[in-house]
């Protein structure tokens, strides 16, 4: 393999494309005894409409997550049992945009890497095994249904998005997963689990030679990758502006979202991402006048959070937490947004927040796992490793002003509330 | 790694963990107090109250700006139960001095800030905590206590623990009760702060690239001249009883949450028996290849999670799972069957070695995470013996199958608690 060496903030990243077609990143971290490896595919819960073998398909909600569960089971046994022999601690996750399989270990690195690269290339789905998993995933879905924060978010998304699949729960529903068959799983696997659509990142106690040797031994050459994701036509406006539910919780939970109009297939740049994050800090971070006011009025507690929620073709600013009066929060939030738009951003505060953001990014390079996950995310979004660090360093207040003026529009606001059941 | 825990004042220790691998400096203080229902709420408020402001930096906005100027330094506060003790923590983290842009000594400034928070809080002229700060944190604490019902899995576990060790500190919530929190005043919380300074066991940990001498000196100066009577903070190991105490509660949930509480005949400081118990718990239900995972989840498809966790300080083990309401008894029976299998020694050497290997990796990985290493040591701070992860692995490697089976034989079901749906098919 030809390895490109990338240096950033004291980290060294080696990047190469294996002859099989798989992009590979290796981050040796001197002195660390553990190794963490993650292989991801650009296939998440939002990819439910695509063309495969000339046929346009719409697959059930939750299938990407179902596939993640099933991939651990191969014809020659369960991957967890193979990992048990090497001592690696393994896991996987499915998000809106990607699915990833990972392990962490302090010995038997090559053996563990071999297990990982082997099972993700060898799907094996039978009627019996798929049916067995339905019960387990059904319990996972039930567990999610009892999570009030999750309900608060997803009912907000369903009001915000008319067509975009981000409105569906990642795991689907008990009803939607009932339609998942081995044939469908194989179709999704063949469509998305092509090494050209994936990336491997290995960090910690590792070197390029070890990774390359395992890759040479295990990886099969991938066919050229073509994928036609069906573009989603999503209106700029929200569908509903308000939704409520009730659960046995102690106090109301809220999620206020501002939908950002995004062109289908658009991927935000690193500059846009850091500008959005910095804007949130200035608007509603713990050092903002709004935060102090919300606390003084008894409207928020330590559960309050502000986040930029985005992926390919969708984005929103979210404000969430527990509150006795979510509508008052929405009112004060809107007023503060209007004030900032009218008065602009204080440059001294901007510089302080920029410095703080830089520090937090550096702190994020502290451990083996977070470095690897960061690089995988960067790859999935088409960025250079740790691109956000340079973006922060070069960020100008005008970039944040631009986000402020174009986003956080009152007409695009949704307020989701989960009320406390009486008697609790 | 070798541990060098130094006593720097009466009831105050300091441990430096110099390590150039990390990009941050981290200072944690763990403060141990006996856990009592009468004092838990007042103590629980202290970390949040102390870390929001100081005499020199009296507002949230000013504190945020001060931390921003330290390259986004973060200060966090925590409260937890450790055995029969209440552990309050305050942690400050910043980027290591090597990564500053102008050779600033951020670590020492961070240390000064944390000491200010502890010794120079934001008080009013009457010598009590600022009325506004107190009022906000009291409300937040009350809401946090009330919100314990939101996480049904954690709620079921807490109730099972209370049934497991009734009438003991173990049954007391680390953050106190709603009644006690509502009754708090600025006076009682200020008194709690003074009592903390006078009687708590303080354990400081400094993890950074340097050897921490300057930080240690600053902490030592802060405690010098302070009149202290550090109170012992001990845990009474659980004892087994003949009866199984059970309870349940119905709520509008989609899935039942079941927790079983077990007595285990091994508790700190009996190090060898405790290590055998840790290996037994991993084999039983604390690893991805455990008996509970392979059988109750994978073979029987009863649940998504079914996990065992050992409290080695108290000598108890909790098993919790989420199942359909109709399968609660089936799940309980299945869990007990798997436990019996281990008591009978019906596990292969391969089973045992995979559990051992999993645990070994888990121990060694602590050294690769700055925060995890500090918490590993803090969790042992109240005992007489501290082991590094490598020392723990060395001991783990010597534990035999017979010892695991012998410890399993001491395990007895003592409590069960289930959160159940209000009606069949009940769902949100």
Interchain CB contact of A107 with B (< 8 Å): yes
Q: Convert chain B into a string of H (helix), E (strand) and C (coil).
A: CCCCEEEEECCEEEEEEECCCCCEEEEEEEEEEECCHHHHHHHHHHHHHHHHCCCCCCCHHHHHHHHHHCCCCEEEEEEEEECCEEEEEEEEEEECHHHCCCCCCHHHHHHHHHHHHHHCCCECCCCCECHHHHHHHHHHHHHHHHHHHCCHHHHHHHHHHHHHCCCCHHHCCCCCCHHHHHCCCHHHHHHHHHHHHHHCEEEEEEEECCCCHHHHHHHHHHHCCCCCCCCCCCCCCCCCCCCCEEEEEEECCCCEEEEEEEECCCCCCCHHHHHHHHHHHHHHHCCCCCHHHHHHHHHCCCCCCEEEEEECCCCEEEEEEEECHHHHHHHHHHHHHHHHHHHCCCCCHHHHHHHHHHHHHHHHHHHHCHHHHHHHHHCCCCCCCCCCHHHHHHHHCCCCHHHHHHHHHHCEEEEEEEEEECCCCCCC
Chain B residues touching residue A145 (CB < 8 angstroms): 254-255, 427-428
Query: Of B368, B396, B419, B258, which is closest to residue A30 (Cα–Cα)?
Result: B368
E strand or H helix at A68, and its extent? helix A63-70
Rounded Cα gap, residues A57 and A71, in angstroms: 21
Q: Report the gap between the CA of B390 and the closest CA in chain A (Å).
A: 12
Please name which of A128, A143, A102 lies closest in space to residue B307, comparing C-alpha atoms.
Answer: A143
Nearest CB neighbour to B361, from listed A106, A353, A367: A106
The pLDDT assigned to B424 comes to: 57
Cα–Cα dist B3/B377, whole Å:
9
Residue with tokens 């390259």: B71
Cα distance from A137 to chain B (closest Cα, Å)? 7
Separation of CA B357 from chain center: 24
Q: What is the pTM of this model?
A: 0.94
Chain B residues touching residue A73 (CB < 8 angstroms): none
H-helix segments, A161-297: 174-177, 182-192, 208-218, 270-284, 289-296
Cα B283 to Cα B176, B265, B289, B408: the distances in Å are 34, 17, 8, 10
* Exposed e or buried b per residue across B170-206, where buried means at least 16 C-beta atoms within 10 angstroms of its C-beta: bbbbbbbeeebbeebebeebbebbebbeebbbbbbbb
Q: Which of B23, B324, B331, B359 to mutate to test the interface with A (most CBs of A within 10 A)?
A: B23
- Give the three-class secondary structure for A138: helix
Structure confidence at residue B270 (pLDDT)? 77
Nearest CA in chain A to B139: A298
Report the alpha-carbon distance of residue B104 to residue B100 in Å, rounded. Answer: 6
Partner residue facing B368 (CB), from A88, A355, A367: A367
For residue A28, what pLDDT is reported?
97
Query: In chain A, which stretches have pLDDT less than 50?
Result: none
- How far is residue A147's CA from residue A162's CA, in Å, rounded to a whole number? 23
What phi, psi does A8 have (nearest 5°)? -155, 125
Of B147, B253, B293, the CB nearest to A250: B147
CA B407 to CA B388: how far, in whole Å? 23
Is B370 in Cβ contact with A424 (below 8 Å)?
no
CB contact under 8 A, B68 and A353: yes
Tell me the C-alpha to C-alpha distance, in Å, between residue A65 and each of A41, A133, A170, B305.
Answer: 12, 11, 7, 16
Of B23, B70, B251, the CB nearest to A248: B251
Tell me how close the Cα of A29 comes to any Cα of chain B, in angstroms: 8
Tell if the CB–CB gap between A286 and B358 is shorter than 8 Å: no
B68, A89: Cβ pair inside 8 Å? no
Burial of A407 (0-12, 13-18, 19+ CB in 10 A): buried
Distance CA A207, CA A372 (A): 14
Q: Please give the interface size between A and B, counted as residue pairs whose CB atoms are below 8 Å apart.
A: 197
Question: What residues of B are in contact with residue A151 (Cβ under 8 Å)?
Answer: 428
| A141 token code pair | 């879905």
Question: Is A221 strand, coil or helix?
Answer: coil
C-alpha to C-alpha distance for A421 and B152, rounded to whole angstroms: 14
| Chain B positions in Cβ-Cβ contact with residue A105 (cut-off 8 Å) | 361
Instruction: Judge whether B107 and B210 are in contact, CB under 8 Å.
Output: yes
Which residue shows structure tokens 């990985």?
A: B365
Contact B354 A84 (CB under 8 A): yes
Among B203, B200, B232, which residue's Cα sits nearest to residue B216?
B203
Of the candidates B189, B227, B231, B316, the residue with the CA atom closest to the CA atom of residue B265:
B316
Nearest to A270 by CA among A361, A179, A138: A361
Strand order from edge to edge, sheet including B12-18 = B5-9, B12-18, B201-208, B24-34, B85-95, B74-82
Q: What is the pLDDT along chain B (428 residues), one digit of tens a residue?
A: 567 899 999 999 999 999 999 999 999 999 999 999 999 999 999 999 999 999 999 999 999 999 999 999 999 999 999 999 999 999 999 999 888 888 888 999 999 999 999 999 999 999 999 999 999 999 999 999 999 999 999 999 999 999 999 989 999 999 999 999 999 999 999 999 999 999 999 999 999 999 999 999 999 999 998 999 998 898 999 999 999 999 999 999 999 999 999 999 999 887 899 999 999 999 999 998 899 999 999 889 899 999 999 999 999 999 999 999 999 999 999 999 999 999 999 999 999 999 999 999 999 999 999 999 999 999 888 766 689 999 999 999 999 999 999 999 999 999 999 999 997 544 43
A365 CB neighbours in chain B (<8 A) are 23
Tell if the CB–CB gap between A107 and B361 is shorter than 8 Å. Answer: yes
CA distance B230 to chain A (A): 31
The runs of H, that is alpha helices, within A89-207 are 109-119, 127-145, 148-160, 174-177, 182-192
Nearest Cα neighbor of A197 from A56, A100, A310 is A100
CA contacts within 13 A on the Cβ side of B128: 13
Catalytic residue list contains A68? yes
pLDDT, residue B428, reads 38
**CA-based nearest residue in chain B for residue A287:** B61
CA A165 and chain centroid, separation: 14
Q: Which among A279, A324, A328, A320 has a CA at the least distance from the CA of A303? A: A320
Give the pLDDT score at B238: 95
Contact B99 A353 (CB under 8 A): no
């Amino acid at each position: 393999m030809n390895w490109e060496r990338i240096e950033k903030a004291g980290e060294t990243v080696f990047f190469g494309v294996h002859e099989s077609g798989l992009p590979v990143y290796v981050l040796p971290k001197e002195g660390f005894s553990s190794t963490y490896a993650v292989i991801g595919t650009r296939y998440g819960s939002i990819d439910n409409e695509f063309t495969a073998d000339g046929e346009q398909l719409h697959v059930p909600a939750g299938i990407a997550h179902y596939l993640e569960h099933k991939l651990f089971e191969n014809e020659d046994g369960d991957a967890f049992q193979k990992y048990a022999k090497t001592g690696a601690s393994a896991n996987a996750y499915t998000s809106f945009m990607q699915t990833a399989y990972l392990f962490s270990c302090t010995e038997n690195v090559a053996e563990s890497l071999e297990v990982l690269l082997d099972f993700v290339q060898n799907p094996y789905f039978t009627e019996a095994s798929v049916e067995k998993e339905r019960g387990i995933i059904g319990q996972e879905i039930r567990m999610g249904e009892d999570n009030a924060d999750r309900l608060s978010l997803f009912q907000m998304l369903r009001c915000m998005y008319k067509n975009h699949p981000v409105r569906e729960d990642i795991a689907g529903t008990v009803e939607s997963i009932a339609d998942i068959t081995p044939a469908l799983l194989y179709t999704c696997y063949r469509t998305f689990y092509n090494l050209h659509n994936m990336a491997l990142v290995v960090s910690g106690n590792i070197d390029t030679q070890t990774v390359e040797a395992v890759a040479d031994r295990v990886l099969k050459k991938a066919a050229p990758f073509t994928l036609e994701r069906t573009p989603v036509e999503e209106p700029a406006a929200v569908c509903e502006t308000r939704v409520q539910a009730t659960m046995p919780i102690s106090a109301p939970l809220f999620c206020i979202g501002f939908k950002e109009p995004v062109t289908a297939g658009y991927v935000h740049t690193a500059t846009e991402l850091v500008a959005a994050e910095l804007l949130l800090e200035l608007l509603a971070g713990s050092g903002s006048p709004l935060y102090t006011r919300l606390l003084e009025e008894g409207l928020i507690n330590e559960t309050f959070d502000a986040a930029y929620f985005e992926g390919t073709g969708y984005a929103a600013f979210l404000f969430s937490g527990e509150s006795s009066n979510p509508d008052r929060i929405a009112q004060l939030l809107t007023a503060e947004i209007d004030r900032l738009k009218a008065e602009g951003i204080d440059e001294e505060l901007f510089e302080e927040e920029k410095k703080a953001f830089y520090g937090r990014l550096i702190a994020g390079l502290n451990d083996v796992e977070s470095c690897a996950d960061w690089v995988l995310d960067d790859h999935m979004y088409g960025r250079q490793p740790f691109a956000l660090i340079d973006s922060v360093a070069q960020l100008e207040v005008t970039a944040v002003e631009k986000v402020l003026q174009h986003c956080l529009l009152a007409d695009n606001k949704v307020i989701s509330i989960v009320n406390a059941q009486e008697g609790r | 790694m070798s541990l060098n825990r130094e006593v720097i004042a009466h009831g105050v220790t300091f441990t430096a963990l110099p390590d150039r691998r990390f990009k941050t400096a981290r200072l944690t203080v763990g403060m141990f107090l006996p856990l009592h229902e009468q004092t838990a709420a007042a103590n629980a408020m202290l970390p949040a109250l102390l870390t929001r402001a100081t005499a020199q930096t009296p507002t949230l906005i000013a504190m945020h700006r001060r931390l921003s100027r330290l390259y986004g330094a973060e200060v966090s506060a925590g409260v937890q139960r450790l055995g029969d003790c209440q552990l309050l923590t305050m942690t400050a983290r910043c980027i290591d001095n090597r990564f500053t842009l102008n050779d600033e000594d951020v670590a020492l400034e961070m240390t000064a800030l944390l000491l200010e928070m502890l010794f120079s809080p934001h008080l009013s002229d009457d010598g009590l905590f600022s009325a506004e700060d107190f009022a906000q944190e009291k409300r937040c604490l009350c809401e946090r206590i009330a919100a314990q019902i939101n996480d049904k899995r954690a709620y079921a576990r807490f109730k099972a623990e209370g049934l497991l060790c009734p009438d003991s500190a173990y049954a007391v919530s680390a953050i106190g009760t709603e009644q006690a929190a509502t009754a708090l005043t600025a006076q009682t919380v200020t008194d709690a702060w003074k009592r903390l300074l006078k009687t708590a066991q303080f354990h400081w940990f400094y993890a950074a690239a340097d050897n921490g001498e300057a930080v240690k000196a600053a902490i030592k100066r802060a405690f010098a001249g302070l009149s202290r009577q550090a109170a012992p903070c001990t845990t009474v190991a659980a004892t087994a009883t003949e009866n199984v105490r059970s309870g349940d509660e119905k709520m509008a949930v989609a899935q039942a949450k079941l927790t079983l509480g077990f007595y285990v005949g091994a508790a700190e400081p009996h190090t060898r028996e405790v290590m055998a118990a840790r290996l037994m718990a991993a084999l039983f239900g604390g690893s991805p290849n455990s008996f509970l995972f392979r059988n109750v989840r994978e073979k029987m498809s009863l649940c998504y999670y079914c996990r065992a966790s050992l409290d080695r300080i108290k000598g108890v083990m909790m098993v919790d799972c989420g199942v359909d309401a109709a399968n609660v008894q089936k799940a309980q029976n299945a869990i007990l069957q798997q436990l019996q299998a281990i008591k009978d020694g019906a596990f292969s050497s391969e089973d045992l070695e995979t559990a051992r290997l999993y645990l070994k990796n888990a121990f060694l990985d602590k050294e690769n995470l700055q925060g995890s290493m500090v918490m590993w040591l803090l969790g042992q701070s109240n005992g007489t013996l501290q082991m590094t992860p490598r020392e723990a692995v060395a001991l783990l490697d010597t534990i035999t199958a017979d010892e695991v089976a012998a410890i399993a034989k001491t395990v007895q079901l003592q409590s069960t608690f289930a959160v159940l749906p209000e009606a069949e098919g009940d769902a949100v």
